[in-house]
Chains A and B, each alone.
Chain A
Amino acid sequence: MLGKDLLGLYDTSAEDITLILDTAVGMKKLLTQNLKKLPHLQGRTVTTLFYENSTRTRCSFELAAKYLGAGTVNISASSSSVQKGETLIDTGYTLDAMKNDVIVIRHPMGGAPHLLARNVKASVVNGGDGMNEHPTQALLDFYTMREKFGSFAGLKVAILGDIKHSRVAKSNLFGLTKLGAEVVMFSPATLMPQGIERMGAKIAKSREEALSGANVVMGLRIQLERMHGGLFPSLAEYAQYYGVSEEHLRYADKDCIVMHPGPVNRGVEFTTDVIDAENSKITEQVLNGVAVRMALLFLLVKNRQGGEKNE
């Protein structure tokens, strides 16, 4: 069962994923009914500890906590004692001493949430760590897919973009393979990580092969710094050979949905037509993100209550 922390989907069971998604259904209902003040986390504190810039993930967690009645604190690396040279573990001790219940951490280095989790009593949620995982993004993606298709069995999910540096791609892969979906990936060879096939992904040889019959077409953000690092020559060339236009989308299933973790580079990963198409779920994903994070925070804190009684 869901433990103290959520560090990644690699070690989260299909049952736990389903539990979070099921719990999120009710949360979304409340959100859409505009009943945005619930008592579930009253008297609890959720801290976001972000060592990387983020708008949507941080805002999503903060709102999720607030809607459930929790107190929230936001710490960003630029304004905190991190700049004074405090170690991650010391920051964790400090937050623990202030009786935080949940720490949501985003960090540019893989494994940082694991290090924090080993050293604090608070529940730790991975809000994205380097090239490793971004489990809550994948959970909201799953929620979005399930809402549309009902189940994951036989679903073909095509993920296109910078797979190598994408924690979103990996969390999706780990979760989707457990849930019974098929994951096909496509990217320039310079942006494809080693060994991803052994983790259950199918690597497509062409854009058409990746998209062929896909139920979900997911784009990943291309970062300019990768171009500067020489991994591909230009955004224009990327768009031409690896981007997805409405024309390419014809290879996909007629009933397919388009997804993207954002922020989107219009005209690079997807053309504007694709982003704004009727089957695009990009905005819906954001709403689902709040619901899924509410569900996760609720379940983790509920676990903590149980744990404390047992002690």
Chain B
Amino acid sequence: MSKLLIRGGTCVLPEGCQTADILIDGKKIVKIAKNVEDKDAKVLDAKGLHVFPGLIDMHVHLREPGFEYKEDIASGSAAAVRGGFTQVCCMPNTQPVCDNAAVVGYIVARGKEADLCKIRPIGAITKGEQGEQLAEMGKMKAAGAVAVSDDGKPVSNARIMRLAMEYASDFGLICLSHCEDKELVDGGVVNEGYNSTLAGMKGIPRAAEEIMLAREIILAETLQKRVHICHVSTKGGVQLLREAKARGVQVTAETCPHYFTLTDDVVMSYDANTKVNPPIRETEDVAAIREGLRDGTLDCIVTDHAPHHKDEKNVEYNLAAFGISGIETSFSLSYTYLVKTGILTVGELAKRMSENPAKILGLEGGCLKEGGVADVMIADLGEEYVIDSREFVSKGKNTPFNGMKVFGKVKYTVVDGKIKFTAERE
């Protein structure tokens, strides 16, 4: 078994940040203390760097099988470790849809072949994501699925969603709900408001998201079941969640960096790299999302990493695909916009990007502790750099953050005790 000694870093531990050495033996962290010595261990000098638990992204699109021209599991895994992620959960809107054990098994196998980060498939709630019949959740769980979701599409039928929440709970699975009332969206492409009128593009009202979010809360409350809300983007959504949590509803929620960093002023460029679903909203929504992250209403930060081919973005805004390639920019954006601004501490950021996703899905990792899995991310929080999509290892270069200056560069990603990414090698 190989040993790794991470020496002299500021470790982001559950009890707070402290300078310590971390000794890893095989896949486990065996010691976290000052002045650890081990002659057999390979030493990784982390002086001046911060050592985080490996980041966990519970909402990505890896596109394989079916859309390998956008991304595949190998390229997505490489992008994930470059972004500091040791585990990613991939959504089932592939071709074929990941709605059965065979596809779940295929994705797990491809993840192991790529051998970079841990790939955790999410199974579909309904067969073919058609919103009609429940998918085989038990078999998918046995094959490695960690949750169920029809992400990309809402489960429009409330009865089906109710049944899904009930049935999924039998297998300890949680439903991740993509909240979108399609009738209200009605072909909209950007947030409805001043900027949609100014740009002359059809708007997506906040109500389209909030109405279904309210439905999920009510279902979870009356059924006494868990539900997790995907990519919350609105002020009203944060309010609904805050009130529900105060009542004791078993609801958790996530948001993405583009919802707490950008306002819909960006759509005036007609650059389709700003096109994402739900859409980038307005200043008051951005403020509410930040506050929701601060007070814990929003449990986690995910990327909704949605790589697309250039040809799918370099067209009329209306025709362009929705989505942002976000896994390589998430940590820096989160650190810059949430920690540098004093909204979150470094420890709270680690909770939102690692511990909470692990807890919600029952995954290993999520914090640095002796005896815990050796999934680690090491970053230089003082390093400032400019985001350049040409450097992305994801096949998807579709980002609205190109040219933006950010702080917090991922330096190393360690998965199961093995260094899977080193910034210096780039």
Contacts and interface: CB of A to CB of B under 8 A. Distances in A.
Interface of A: 10, 87-89, 107, 109-112, 114-115, 129-133, 167, 170, 193-196, 198-199
Given A111-B200, A115-B270, A129-B200, A195 B194 contact: yes
Contacts of B201: 109-111, 130-132
A87 B314 CA distance: 9
Contacts of A111: 199-201, 270, 316-317
Interface in B191-217: 192-203
Contact of A194 (B203, B311, B314, B319): B203
B318 interface: yes
A130 B270 contact: no
Nearest to A87: B315
A129 to B, nearest CB: 7
B197 A199 contact: yes
B274 to A, nearest CB: 11
A12 to B, nearest CB: 15
B200 A132 contact: yes
Contacts of B192: 194
A167 to B, nearest CB: 6
A170 B203 CA distance: 16
13 contacts: A87-B311, A89-B314, A110-B201, A115-B270, A115-B316, A115-B317, A130-B201, A130-B318, A132-B201, A133-B200, A170-B200, A193-B197, A194-B193
Interface string B299-317: 0000000000001001111
Contacts of A10: 198
A198 B314 contact: no
Nearest to A107: B316
Given A131-B202, A194-B203, A110 B197 contact: no
* Most A Cβ at <10 Å: residue of B197, B201, B203, B314: B197
A170 to B, nearest CB: 7
Interface in B282-327: 311, 314-319
Q: Which of B193, B199, B314, B319 has the most CB of A within 10 A?
A: B199
Nearest to A192: B197
Given A109-B316, A109-B317, A114 B270 contact: yes
Interface in B68-117: none
B314 A132 contact: no
A196 B200 contact: no
B200 A194 contact: no
A121 B194 CA distance: 32
Contacts of B314: 87, 89
A306 B103 CA distance: 61
B21 to A, nearest CB: 53
Contacts of B311: 87
Given A89-B315, A111-B317, A112-B316, A195 B270 contact: no
Contact of A110 (B193, B194, B199, B315): B199
Contact of B315 (A88, A129, A131, A194): A88
